[in-house]
Every structure is written in structure tokens, then in C-alpha cells.
């Protein structure tokens, strides 16, 4: 039986580019620079740099994907999947994860200082897209001297970035594993994001984004997170976790949180505002809504690519339902791409990809092993 150990203590690193007279041109036509990306790396890069895997995070994620920061009791957000003997086996692979631009966990975003004003960008920060996030990640991968990634993988918004890597830099990606995602946001997904944004902007403390010298819009951001968290769970998992259990013995006959599920959502909202910036929430959800690789944009007609795909979805995920993953696979088959698909039976809803699901681990591990062997033969 393979040993699955923790990575132990890890550290966040920082890479800055697009300095001075060389800012990065964004999809909107605006430019941004200098740009700093926070990133972490686990495992060892082999001699020919053929074992590098890029992990890309979801909306509220960051560069800390695995292991522990000094003094922390909680491991990185995908520790169940990254480490020695795990799906992304750091005994075999060099695993990288960076915080996206527009974020607030070490990478340049609206809470960062604008070099022109020496104040936080706030709403002066330009609108960014998933393609812009990937373009910045490519700068990091180039800096690390990696010409071709063995794999790019992530769930939810991470899955969008994994797909965008293929659209933007197909020659730099040997394989991709998009999980619990879509190749375009549906009207329902856009609607949930818009309600969240409106909750933030309706908070008087938002102050048109200029809240960094005063009170932050915690109540608005907390409500946005509560709304979002409902969509991450399934009806079955909520029933199992909460049912109609009360926090006290009887109803209070007030507007206090009578039910356990109410208290849980408030806790999730209150926890979120302590680690996330409200403006980043606005920018990142907008980037997700703009994302659209349908209508042949993923692989243009007449173009061939040498990238393998493993697309995974979860039966109970109603935020990114399985039909959206099947749309991707059906398109890939029309382009004669080496693509596999699996719909995993798990009751946990959209958040299932973050959990230790044996089938997900098995599929990823064997897909990566096969890809590594194929690439070794080709080289």
C-alpha cells in the first residue's frame, strides 16, 4: 500500500514581472504592471523538466494548496490530493500552485498598492479575465524554465483556467484535468454571481470600492459567501449534515438563527470575510462570468493539438452540472482529441472535488502516470 504523507511545512514564494515600461496587456485592452504572483511549489523538478504540474484554484482559493504554513493547524486547500503517494504525487511530480491576479492572497489585485497613487487600486484595478490569469501564470512557468507542463488541473474556476491553458498555450500543456467545471458560464451561474456582487455593493461600507482606510463591507461579503456556499452543497449532503435540527431545544420565535444550517452559513460567511477582499470577489466572479470557450474557441476548426484530457464531474453537483462537462467531451471528440470522461458518484455536491474521494484520486493518479509514460516515449 502506498504511503500518503503530509508535505509538512511549506512556504509561499513571490514572482514579480511586467515591470517599468513592460506592463502586461490585458484582454480588455488595458495594461497592468508591475504584477506579483504568490506561488508555492512541492516536490522536485526533474533534470529535463518534464514532471511539472500546475494546480489552479477556484474562486476563493490561493497558492497554499498543500502542506502547512508555520504555526497553522489547517493544511492547504487540496492537501487530500497533493503530497507523497497522493493523486498529485510529489515523490514523482513537481507541483506548482499560484494565486490568480485579481486575488487578495499575495498576488496583485484591487487591494494592492497602485504604483501611480501609492494607494490601493480599489476600482481603478482593471477588469481581468480567465485568459489574463492564465497569461500571468505562463510568465511564472517561463520564469521557472518549464517549456511544457505535464498537466494543468483544477476544479470549478480552476477547471476554467485548465481549459484556458489549452486554448491559449496548447503547445505548453501535455495534459489537462478540468474538474467540476464548464467551458462557459450559464445564465444561472451568472445570476448567482450577480446576486453575490449586489450583496457586496449594497453594503454601505463598500463605499464604491474605497473602503481600505475604513470599515470593509463585511456584511455584504458575508451574505455573498452564504449564497455561494449553498450552491456548493447538494440537497442530500445538507440533509445529512443538518436536516431540520435546531440549535436550541425549541423555536425562538424571533429572527435569530434557530436552525443549525442557519448558524453554519453565518459561520462560513463570518470566516470568509476575515481572509478575503470584497473587491477581489467582484473582480474574480466577473472574470468567471466573461469566460466562454464554446463555439469552437477551445480548439479552433482546422487546428490540431497534442494535449490529453481527463474531464471529471460529480453526479450531485448542481452548480456545475454534469451536462456541462459532457458538452466539453462531445466537442473534444469532434476534434479527435485524446479525451476521457467520468461522472463520479458522490453526494457532496460541487465541493466534492475538494474532498478525499477515492475514485477521483484513482482516476487522476493513473491518468498522470499514463501521460508521463507517453511523454517519455515521445521525448
Instruction: Name the catalytic one among 156, 175, 216, 280.
Output: 156
What SS3 class is residue 174? coil
pTM of the model: 0.96
Average pLDDT over residues 127-144: 98
Give the cell for residue 322.
454534469
Rama region for 222: left / alpha / beta (φ>0; ψ in -120 to 50; rest): alpha
Nearest to 287 by CA among 55, 41, 110, 78: 110
Task: For residue range 186-201, list pLDDT tens digits in order.
Answer: 999 999 999 999 999 9
* Pairwise CA distance, residues 104 & 311, whole Å: 29
What SS3 class is residue 197? helix
For residue 227, what pLDDT is reported? 97
Instruction: Name the catalytic one among 153, 316, 350, 351.
Output: 350
Task: For residue range 212-260, list pLDDT tens digits in order.
Answer: 999 999 999 999 999 999 999 999 999 999 999 999 999 999 999 999 9
Nearest to 68 by CA among 6, 151, 133: 6
Catalytic site includes residue 317: yes
Task: For residue range 91-107, list pLDDT tens digits in order.
Answer: 999 999 999 999 999 99
Phi first, then psi: what are they for 37, rounded to 5°?
-115, 130
Q: Is the pLDDT of residue 1 over 70?
A: no
Task: For residue range 155-174, list pLDDT tens digits in order.
Answer: 999 999 999 999 999 999 99
Task: For residue range 310-319, list pLDDT tens digits in order.
Answer: 999 999 999 9
Catalytic site includes residue 350: yes
- Residue 355: pLDDT band (50, 70, 90) is very high
Instruction: Name the catalytic one among 89, 203, 317, 351.
Output: 317
Task: For residue range 31-51, list pLDDT tens digits in order.
Answer: 999 999 999 999 999 999 999
Do the Cβ atoms of 320 and 313 come closer than 8 Å?
yes
Rama region for 292: left / alpha / beta (φ>0; ψ in -120 to 50; rest): beta
**Angle, in degrees to the nearest 10, between helices 187-202 and 278-290:** 160
What the chain holds in terms of domains, given with CATH numbers, is 13-185+292-378 (3.40.50.1820), 189-287 (1.10.1740.110)
Amino acid at each position: 500500500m502506498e504511503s500518503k504523507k503530509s508535505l509538512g511545512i511549506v512556504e509561499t514564494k513571490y514572482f514579480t514581472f511586467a515591470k517599468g515600461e513592460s506592463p502586461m496587456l490585458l484582454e480588455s485592452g488595458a495594461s497592468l504592471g508591475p504584477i506579483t504572483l504568490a506561488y508555492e511549489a512541492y516536490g522536485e523538478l526533474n533534470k529535463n523538466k518534464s514532471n511539472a504540474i500546475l494546480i489552479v484554484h477556484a474562486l476563493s482559493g490561493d497558492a497554499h494548496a498543500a502542506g502547512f504554513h508555520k504555526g497553522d493547524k489547517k493544511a492547504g486547500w487540496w492537501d487530500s490530493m497533493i503530497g507523497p503517494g497522493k493523486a498529485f504525487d510529489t515523490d514523482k511530480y513537481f507541483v506548482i500552485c499560484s494565486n490568480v491576479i485579481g486575488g487578495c492572497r499575495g498576488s496583485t489585485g484591487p487591494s494592492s498598492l497602485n504604483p501611480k497613487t501609492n494607494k490601493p487600486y480599489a476600482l481603478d484595478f482593471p477588469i481581468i479575465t480567465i485568459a489574463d490569469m492564465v497569461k500571468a501564470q505562463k510568465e511564472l512557468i517561463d520564469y521557472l524554465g518549464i517549456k511544457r507542463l505535464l498537466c494543468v488541473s483544477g476544479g470549478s474556476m480552476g477547471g476554467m483556467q485548465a481549459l484556458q491553458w489549452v486554448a491559449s498555450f496548447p503547445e505548453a500543456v501535455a495534459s489537462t484535468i478540468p474538474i467540476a467545471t464548464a467551458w462557459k458560464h450559464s445564465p444561472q451561474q451568472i445570476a448567482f454571481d450577480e446576486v453575490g456582487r449586489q450583496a457586496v455593493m449594497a453594503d454601505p461600507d463598500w463605499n464604491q470600492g474605497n473602503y481600505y482606510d475604513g470599515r470593509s463591507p463585511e456584511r455584504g461579503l458575508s451574505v455573498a459567501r452564504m449564497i455561494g456556499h449553498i450552491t456548493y452543497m447538494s440537497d442530500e449532503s445538507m440533509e445529512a449534515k443538518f436536516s431540520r435540527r435546531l440549535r436550541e431545544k425549541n423555536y425562538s420565535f424571533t429572527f435569530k438563527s434557530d436552525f443549525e444550517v442557519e448558524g453554519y452559513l453565518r459561520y462560513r460567511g463570518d470566516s470568509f470575510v476575515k481572509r478575503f477582499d470584497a473587491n477581489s470577489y467582484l473582480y474574480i466572479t466577473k472574470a468567471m462570468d466573461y469566460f466562454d470557450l464554446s463555439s469552437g474557441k477551445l480548439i479552433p476548426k482546422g487546428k490540431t493539438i497534442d494535449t490529453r484530457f481527463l474531464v471529471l464531474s460529480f453526479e450531485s453537483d448542481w452548480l456545475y452540472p454534469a451536462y456541462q462537462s459532457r458538452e466539453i467531451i462531445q466537442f473534444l471528440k469532434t476534434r479527435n482529441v485524446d479525451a476521457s470522461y467520468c461522472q463520479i458518484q458522490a453526494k457532496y455536491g460541487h465541493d466534492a472535488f475538494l474532498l478525499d474521494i477515492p475514485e477521483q484520486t484513482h482516476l487522476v493518479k493513473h491518468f498522470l502516470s499514463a501521460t508521463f509514460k507517453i511523454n517519455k516515449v515521445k521525448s
